[in-house]
Structure 1
Amino acid sequence: MPITPVKSLVEHAKTEIETLSQEDVQEQAAAGTAQLVDIRDIRELKREGRIAGAMHAPRGMLEFWVDPASPYHRADFITDKKLVLFCAGALRSALAVKALQDMGVENIAEMEGGFGAWKSRGAPIETD
């Protein structure tokens, strides 16, 4: 059986998830109605920088940290704020949002263009 290309998986996920514009994400984060969740690898954060106030949750641990029944559960995910996931370029985040929706997480979206677009447009970042 042939492997479904990741491009197809991302395209399909994007039809079933909410994608917020960079500006909407920045406004919601400033208003305190959204919690940004950076799912990039820690090496990416060190190399490229980070968005102030964004929670880091590596993609490989995300489902485990969200699930209250998991021994790895993180209370940070119990919030009334909209969870807005982002990665470098809005590919991994699309798959991650879809996976969390499939788990039952409802107040969730991804950020259009990811961290790369955030940085390119000159939005504020922190560096080590």
Structure 2
Amino acid sequence: MKRVKDMVAAANSTVDHAPASALMDLYGQGDVTFVDLRDPRELDREGMIPGAFHCPRGMLEFWIDPESPYAKPQFQTGNRIVFYCASGWRSALSAQVAQEMGLPNVSHIEDGFSGWKKAGGPVGDKPAKS
């Protein structure tokens, strides 16, 4: 059986990643989009990075592909994309998939939203609608 920890390690060997404390200086820059991959229940419980775009992990490939009927403009801007989840596992796999699909300039927060909060990053309520 292929183990998820091995899949995450493989993804981290091919995609840019850093702890939240190192990526906080990107927050608020107009050419950077933070993408929250967590389940809506996690957003309800914990909030999210203000201004981040919420993309449920199960929709990622469909929302990235510009030819998909579900494509989202947030993935077509050319902005740097910084993915995050709770602890950096889903975001590692998501950044790898996005990179494989041809999305340029992707990275992820290796210690996730928990690292963001621990580093003192801003936290807001979830948006009304994705």
**Alpha carbons 2:49, 2:124 under 8 Å: kept:** yes
CA deviations over 1:34-64 (Å, ceiling 9, x no partner): 1100000111000111110100001000110
**Alpha carbons 1:90, 1:111 under 8 Å: kept:** yes
> Aligned Cα RMSD in Å?
1.4
Displacement of 1:112:
2.5
**Alpha carbons 2:11, 2:93 under 8 Å: kept:** yes
CA deviations over 1:70-107 (Å, ceiling 9, x no partner): 11111121113200000000000000111111111121
SS of the aligned residue for 1:31 comes to: coil
AA in 2 matched with 1:29:
Y
**Alpha carbons 1:25, 1:34 under 8 Å: kept:** no
Which deviates the most, 115-124 or 60-69?
115-124
Residues matched between the structures, number: 126
Structure 2: segments with no counterpart, 5+ residues? none
AA in 2 matched with 1:45:
L
Match of 2:31 in 1: 33
**Alpha carbons 2:47, 2:125 under 8 Å: kept:** yes
Match of 2:42 in 1: 44
Match of 1:105 in 2: 103
1:66 and 2:99 are equivalent in the alignment: no
- Amino-acid identity (%): 41
**Alpha carbons 2:19, 2:110 under 8 Å: kept:** yes
**Alpha carbons 1:38, 1:57 under 8 Å: kept:** yes
Which TM-score applies when normalising by structure 2?
0.90
Runs of 4+ residues deviating >6 angstroms = none
